[in-house]
Structure formats: structure tokens, C-alpha cells
Amino acid sequence: MDHSIEDLLLLPATPLPAFDGEQVEMDDLIKSILSTKRCHNSPGELAFVAWLYKHLETLQVKPKAMAEGAVVVELGVGGKTLFSCHVDTCHTSTESDGSLQPLFFDPAFGHIFCGDKKSGCLGADDGAGVYVMLKMIEAGVKGSYIFHRGEEKGCISAWAMVAKYSEWLKKFDACIAFDRPDLYEVICTQGGQVCASVGYGTKLAQALSKEGLDYEVSHKGVLTDCKVYRQLIPECINLGVGYYNQHSNSEYLDWNHLKKLTSTVIGLDWDALKPERKIVTESQAWGNYQKDYYGAPYKGKGAFTTPKPAPKPAPVKPIVVEDDFDDLEDVKLEDMTSQELDDYVGDEVLCKAIMNLVVELDAERARVARLQMLLGL
């Protein structure tokens, strides 16, 4: 029987099967998140956003809608960190009809799987990030929180935020996304573009490396919403939250890792992390690249598409034929002296070349004559 998201919230917390005599449970919140199928703008995703508003209100905060339906919460005054996740998943629009998917938990490894073999994915990308941020809000961690929509469709709400609320985004020193697969990466580079400084990333990795966590800076990122803000916010980081095989039916979540990460980020002093990266425009970035590799600053559009005209070749000095040699048939170069040849050609370089050819021609004639003599010809 299918249940709505509202029905899910009314279900009692049911312990999962025991393992080795120990009762194992998933957090009710993570069950609520991962049981939903949320393709962007589908009935399932719209119902989930409605549930998200309702849940945030139970936490005594006031969520607001910003560009393209992004849900934003602001806690405290003067917070310089923006926390980021996205609510949509890679389920198909057909299966994202508001019905729920079953979940399986492997207590031996602490992994959560989707229990429906026909389901497109588990949805820990980025249900894990949604979970972390809701727990941070519940704990009252100062900062701003943005639940993006349409990340899997090209960061739809993030681009809309840049277009409509760029000044609001500029007030932040850092944007921390909880949307990286695997465990311990602090992503500073996405798709080959620098989004955060190594210095900031290293300090954050050190601060996160508690409770058995071991984070380190990485430059292997591809794309999440915070990359879109790299020209507005100095430090845009994506953190590994412990999901694997995203966008597939074999996706799973390391639940133990997510719990440790959540506990760590709640206890972190985010304002103590100061930005180190200086934002440069795309043209400035290209100018630095050109200066490094070509020794000259970027001079604007067209600097390379309009090359300087090639210099005109020097005019060829005409061969001046003296009156004594008007009839070329009567001219025998090999009989000329060097002075006569120079007078005839009118060019010193060309004269020397002709003299060399004449010498080589005489040598070839001598070899031919000797060969004829040896052959009796």
C-alpha cells in the first residue's frame, strides 16, 4: 500500500531487525527523507518541499522561498557561512508520484539501501545533505541554510539565486555544501575550476577530523550548487557525506559516517574559519593565466582573434641584364668570370649560388666523361 509523506510522519518508529543481539535503528528523520522519491518538480518532490516547510516550522524557525523555490533559513545575526544541499533526486518523474520506497539497513556495515529493485536510486544524493542541515538547524548552529531545487537538472535554483539575489550571496565568506559522495573529501576544485583556497580547505579538514573522521583537501569535484557561487562567495566547499553509487539502484549511504559528520559540524566554530581566497572575475582569471603562460596581460575580447597583419615581404631586386647579354642563348655562365657573372645577375647572394651550381655542374660533367671513357663509349 502506498503512503503519502504526511502518512509517513504519522507512522510509529519501528526498530529494524536486531543483529548479534543488538537492536539497530535508523533515525526517523533519515527514514522520512530517504523513503521519498523526488525528481525535480514532480509530485513527490513538491510534496517533500511541503513537508520540509512543515518540519522546519516544528523547529521554531521561519523558512522562506527564494529563487526557483529554494528554501532558505537564517539563524542568528551576522553569520558568514551559507550551508547548502539540494532536495531533488535522480528518481524518474514517473516513479516520483508521492509514493514511498522501502529501505533496508545492513547493521554489519551500517549501510542503508533502497529496498525496491525497480527504484532509480536511494536518494542519499542529496538526502544525506538535507539530513545534516536539518540537524544543524535543530541544534541552533548560526548561519544561513539553503535547500536548493533542481540541482540534478543543472543547478536551476542556484543559477536563479545568482541572477536575483547576488547581493545577498555576497555577504557570505563561505558556502559549505553537503553533497559529495564517499567519505573524507573537502572539495576545493569543481570541474577544473577553483572554488575555494587550499588554506581554507585544509583548516576545515583539520577541524572535521574528529570522532574517527579523516578529511583531506581534494580537487576531484565535479558539480554541485555551491560551484555556481564561486564568483560571489570566496570559499565554496563540498564535503563528502558518505553516499556511494549515486544515480543508480545500487546507491547506498554509510549511516555511521553521516552521524559522525553531523555531530562534528554541529560542534564546529564556523565563524573561526576565515576566508583566504580572493574572488577574481573570469576575465581577470584568464588574464592571470595568459600572463603566466604568455608574458602579457589579457587585453580583452578580440585580442587573439585579430592578429597583426603580416609584414610585407621585401621587394625582390630585379635581375639587371647588361646590354652585352641581351640574348640569353648566347650566354654561357660557365665561361664568365665572377665579376662578369656579378654584373650579369646584379645580386651578390644569387651570384654566389649560381657560381656554386656552375662548379657542381662542371664536376658532374667530369664524372660523366670519365664513366664514358671506362665503358668505352
Do 232 and 281 form a contact (C-beta atoms < 8 A)?
Answer: no
For residue 308, pLDDT beyond 90: no
3-state secondary structure the chain: CCCCHHHHHHCCCCCCCCECCECCCCCHHHHHHHCECCCCCCHHHHHHHHHHHHHHHHCCCCCEECHHHCEEEEECCCCCEEEEEECCCCCCCCCCCCCECCEEEECCCCEEEECCCCCCCCCHHHHHHHHHHHHHHHHCCCEEEEEECCHHHCCHHHHHHHHHCHHHHCCCCEEEEEEECCCCEEECEECCEECCCHHHHHHHHHHHCCCCCCCEEECCECCCHHHHHCCCCCEEEEEECCEECCCCCCCEEEHHHHHHHHHHHHCCCHHHCCCCCCCCCHHHHHHHHHHHHHCCCCCCCCCCCCCCCCCCCCCCCCCCCCHHHCCHHHCCHHHCCHHHHHHHHCCHHHHHHHHHHHHHHHHHHHHHHHHHHHHCC
Higher-scoring residue by pLDDT: 149, 5: 149
For residues 308 and 302, give the distance between their C-alpha atoms in angstroms, rounded to a whole number.
12
Q: What is the mean pLDDT of residues 84-96?
A: 96
Higher-scoring residue by pLDDT: 272, 16: 272
For residues 85 and 103, give the distance between their C-alpha atoms in angstroms, rounded to a whole number.
22
Give the pLDDT confidence of 174-203 residue by residue, as tens digits.
Answer: 999 999 999 899 999 999 999 999 999 999
- Residue 24 has a pLDDT of 43
Do 180 and 239 form a contact (C-beta atoms < 8 A)?
Answer: yes
pTM score of the predicted model: 0.71
54-63, 76-85, 170-179, 322-331, range with the lowest pLDDT: 322-331
Give the pLDDT confidence of 117-152 residue by residue, as tens digits.
Answer: 899 999 999 999 999 999 999 999 999 999 999 999
Half-sphere exposure of 37 (CA within 13 A, CB side): 28
Q: Give the Å distances, CA to CA, from 190 to 3, 35, 193, 236, 313.
A: 38, 29, 5, 10, 49
Q: What is the largest CA-CA distance in the chain?
A: 120
- Residue 343 has a pLDDT of 61
Domains and CATH numbers, the chain: 5-276 (3.40.630.10), 323-375 (no CATH)
Residue identified by cell 512543515 is 54
Q: Which amino acid is at 154?
A: G
Higher-scoring residue by pLDDT: 309, 117: 117
Do 146 and 162 form a contact (C-beta atoms < 8 A)?
Answer: no
Q: What is the mean pLDDT of residues 11-30?
A: 51
